[in-house]
């Protein structure tokens, strides 16, 4: 019997689907330092972002036939090395796109109306400083009519563009691998196709009122001082992609200088211990890496994993 270790957990539906197809599924959470030994007894390892699957783990587990990542990014897995060893590596790129796109807009709407700072202040001073707070937070702006620049127009970028177009924003995008995309905007059950041609990175930086980043992590930040200097004064920036794609020190300096009016961060350079200057900045909207963490997305991720595993093993 094929044995599966879902080390970071899976949904009930995914577990039931796999067991009904004849797999043995364990939901035990094995600590990283014990993973190499315990994994010798399993054929499949399923992870989210917590468990790391590096070369030493792959070498220590000759029975391993598949590694599955519940989510999009696979920077916690040595993918190429696993594939060289004949191990199938899968992820769920489509399942969480809509959830991440909605979180981007949660940050955008919150920033545009000063909700993070207002939510901090109202419980403390709402009963004694109501008029002063009303004046302080009364200079919000509408997103409608503004330009959203999307860096990376893959699945998540397209899901974000779909929402932006529905809100009434102008959408521009840059992507080194994609020349153009068609976004099918759902309006009351009717699909309205909107074509978007990608533009150069620097041009997007100069034209955008808001910028959202949807690229995998790399060796260096995508956005730093040089890029901030190119942006409009008062720009809003959102990162729901990977910690490190924005230089956080440069971000704080850009906020202090008035170049960036506000930012929204779901991911951080130093997870799980974000820098205090980020956490305490009242112009940064903060969430703890929950972009894909909706009930609907988790169900879709689970079923996509189950379908791919069942298809691979031919059950």
Percent of the chain with pLDDT over 70: 100
The per-residue pLDDT for range 210-229, each reduced to its tens digit, is 999 999 878 899 999 999 99
Buried b (16+ CB within 10 A) or exposed e, 100-130: bbbbbbbbbbbbbbbbbbbeebeeeeeeeee
pTM of the model: 0.89
Are 298 and 61 within 8 A, CB to CB? no
Catalytic residue flag (residue 80): no
Domains along the chain with CATH numbers: 3-92+295-313 (3.40.50.720), 97-286 (3.40.50.720)
Please give the pLDDT value at position 289: 94
Please give the pLDDT value at position 315: 62
Catalytic residue flag (residue 48): no
Instruction: Decide if pLDDT at 207 tops 80.
Output: yes
Spatial strand order of the sheet with 147-151 comes to 170-174, 147-151, 210-213, 235-239, 260-265, 284-286
Longest pairwise C-alpha distance within the chain: 68
Catalytic residue flag (residue 132): no
pLDDT band at 94 (very low <50, low <70, confident <90, very high): confident
Three-state helix/strand/coil letters over 93-138:
CCCCHHHHHHHHHHHHHHHHCCHHHHHHHHHHHCCCCHHHHHHHCC
CA distances from 181 to 21, 123, 158, 210, 267 (A): 38, 45, 8, 20, 26
Instruction: Decide if pLDDT at 188 tops 90.
Output: no
Instruction: Decide if pLDDT at 303 tops 70.
Output: yes
Average pLDDT over residues 157-177: 97
The per-residue pLDDT for range 229-258, each reduced to its tens digit, is 999 999 999 999 999 999 999 999 999 999
Please give the pLDDT value at position 28: 94
Q: Which of 19, 256, 271, 296 is catalytic?
A: 271
CA distances from 123 to 119, 120, 126, 131, 133 (A): 7, 7, 6, 14, 11
Q: Which of 49-58, 69-78, 147-156, 176-185 has the lowest mean pLDDT?
A: 69-78
Q: Which of 69, 214, 242, 300 is catalytic?
A: 242
Are 205 and 228 within 8 A, CB to CB? no
Q: Are strands 210-213 and 235-239 parallel, antiparallel or unpaired?
A: parallel
Please give the pLDDT value at position 75: 87
Please give the pLDDT value at position 219: 84
Please give the pLDDT value at position 186: 85
């Amino acid at each position: 019997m094929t044995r599966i270790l879902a080390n970071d957990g899976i949904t009930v539906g995914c577990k039931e689907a796999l067991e009904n197809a004849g797999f043995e599924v364990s939901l035990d959470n094995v600590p990283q330092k014990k993973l190499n030994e315990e994994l010798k007894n399993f054929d499949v390892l399923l992870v989210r972002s917590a468990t790391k699957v590096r070369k030493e783990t792959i070498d220590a587990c000759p029975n391993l036939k598949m590694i599955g990542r519940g989510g999009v990014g696979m920077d916690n897995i040595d993918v190429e090395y696993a594939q060289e060893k004949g191990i199938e590596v899968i992820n769920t790129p489509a399942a969480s796109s809509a959830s991440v796109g909605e979180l981007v807009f949660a940050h955008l709407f919150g920033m545009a109306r000063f909700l993070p700072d207002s939510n901090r202040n109202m419980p403390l001073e709402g009963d004694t400083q109501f008029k002063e707070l009303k004046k302080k937070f009364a200079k919000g702006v509408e997103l409608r009519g503004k330009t959203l620049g999307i860096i990376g127009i893959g699945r998540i970028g397209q899901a974000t563009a779909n929402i932006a177009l529905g809100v009434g924003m102008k959408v521009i995008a840059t992507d080194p691998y994609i020349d153009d995309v068609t976004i099918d905007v759902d309006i009351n059950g009717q699909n309205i196709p909107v074509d978007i041609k990608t533009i150069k990175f620097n041009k997007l930086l100069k034209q955008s009122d808001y910028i959202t980043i949807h690229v995998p992590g790399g060796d260096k930040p995508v956005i730093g001082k040089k890029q901030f200097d190119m942006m409009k004064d008062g720009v809003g920036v959102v990162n729901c992609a990977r910690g490190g794609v924005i230089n956080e020190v440069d971000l704080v300096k850009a906020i202090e200088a008035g170049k960036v009016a506000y930012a929204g961060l779901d991911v951080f350079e130093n997870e799980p211990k974000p820098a205090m200057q980020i956490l305490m900045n009242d112009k940064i909207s903060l969430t703890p890496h929950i972009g894909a963490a909706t009930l609907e997305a988790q169900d879709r991720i689970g079923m996509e994993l189950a379908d791919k595993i069942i298809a691979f093993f031919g059950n």
